[in-house]
Each structure stands twice: as C-alpha cells, then as structure tokens.
Chain A
Amino acid sequence: AQKVTQTQTSISVMEKTTVTMDCVYETQDSSYFLFWYKQTASGEIVFLIRQDSYKKENATVGHYSLNFQKPKSSIGLIITATQIEDSAVYFCAMREGGYQGGRALIFGTGTTVSVSP
C-alpha cells in the first residue's frame, strides 16, 4: 500500500540559512510523482515543486530544490537562503500511476518550519 512518511515534526532555523526536511514514501508502482506543498499560518496551501520518478535530475524551483534518492524511496526538500516568510508547514505528497488519469495524492503529516531573524 502507498504511504508517505515525514518523521521531522518541526525544524527551527535562522534566517538566510539552509533547511532540509525529509520524506520517505512507499509504492509498488514503477512510475509516480512526488510533490511538496506549503501551508501558511493563514491555512493557505500552495504547490511548491514536483519530481517525476523517471527523471534522474533533482527538480529546482527558485530557492526550493529536491534531493531525490530513488533507491532509498526518499525525496527531501531543501530551502536555501531562508526568509521569515518561509515559516510554514511543509507537506510531502505522492501520486502513483504515471500519466494515467484519475489518481489522488497521498500526503505526509507535515513538517513545521520556523525561521527566526
């Protein structure tokens, strides 16, 4: 059965430093997508970045990047040069089934990141 696990409940960092958070997943599918979402204090949920399972290169968007280690079923999120507004809950999610339609996301329980000045 598919499962997404985020073991870090919370992380505190200083502004302008780098934060790394972990996510491991379980799937029987050979093709899948992995996502990171951010939930702000207001409750708004925003898509950040995606990794396709068949791509070897780590995805990068702005100051977000991924550390995709397929043999370990791991997809870490790295935020460089953190800012106060990066304080949020970060969710890892997985979708199985490649490009076949009609599948939903499985979410992890989230990691709370607090960025201090």
Chain B
Amino acid sequence: GGIITQTPKFLIGQEGQKLTLKCQQNFNHDTMYWYRQDSGKGLRLIYYSITENDLQKGDLSEGYDASREKKSSFSLTVTSAQKNEMAVFLCASSTDRGRYAEQFFGPGTRLTVL
C-alpha cells in the first residue's frame, strides 16, 4: 500500500500571486498527474509526468507550470492566480507508466483567490 500527500490542504492567495502546490507519493509509481476540479464538475487534466523530469501538458495547462524533479514528487504552480478563482486541485499517481492507468488520488488542495 501507499499514500499520496498534498500540501497545503487549503491555499488562499491574492489575485496575480504565484502559488505552488506540492504532491508526494510513496507508491513508487512512475506516473503522476495534476487535475483541477471545479464545483459540481468532473476532473480536468492540467499536467502529467510519466517519469522524473518528464512533463506532458493536459487540456488545462495554460496558466500553470509543473515540475517533477524526483520520482516521488510532483509540484504544480499557478503562475498568476485569478480573482474569485475557487477549485480543488487533485494529485494522482499510477504504476507502469500509466498503461493500466488505475490511478490513486490524494486528498486535494482547495484553492481560494481573494
């Protein structure tokens, strides 16, 4: 078994601010993902990474940067927070470069921009 940890749990930022969200997994999984979930909606892919130092853009990558410096960690940066933005950012990981793609999710970071 393993666990995915996301920090912080809650993130409050100001308009225009650069904000960083962190994710750690101890499954020893190859592939990691960042999703955004808006209230009452599904998950939309921002970035994913199939191995250390690899980055693949999802449909929602504009306005975000990502970093995968270690196999166990994957960071997401909101480059310029938008006023009144509210969403939950979910980190996930899967084994075997995502081939079977059964993903395990972290608890999420809830973002509020004032």
**Which residues in A have some Cβ–Cβ distance to B below 8 Å?**
33, 35, 43-47, 50, 91, 95, 99-110
Contacts and interface: CB of A to CB of B under 8 A. Distances in A.
A99 B99 contact: yes
Interface stretch (B12-20, B42-50, B65-73): B42-50
Contact of B42 (A33, A47, A107): A107
A104 B45 CA distance: 8
Nearest to A91: B42
A91 B101 CA distance: 15
The 3 closest A-B pairs by CB, nearest first: A101-B97, A45-B105, A109-B42
Contacts, number: 61
A104 B100 CA distance: 10
A100 B44 CA distance: 21
A104 B98 CA distance: 7
Contact of B105 (A44, A100, A102): A44
Contact of A101 (B33, B35, B99, B102): B99
Interface in B84-114: 88, 90, 92, 96-105, 107-108
Given A33-B101, A44-B105, A50-B102, A104 B56 contact: yes
Interface in B16-63: 30-31, 33, 35, 41-45, 48, 50, 56, 58
B98 A43 contact: no
A35 B43 CA distance: 13
Contact of A104 (B48, B90, B102, B104): B48
A105 B90 contact: no
A81 B98 CA distance: 32
Contacts of B30: 101
A73 B104 CA distance: 25
B99 to A, nearest CB: 5
8 contacts: A43-B107, A45-B90, A45-B105, A47-B104, A101-B96, A101-B98, A102-B31, A109-B41
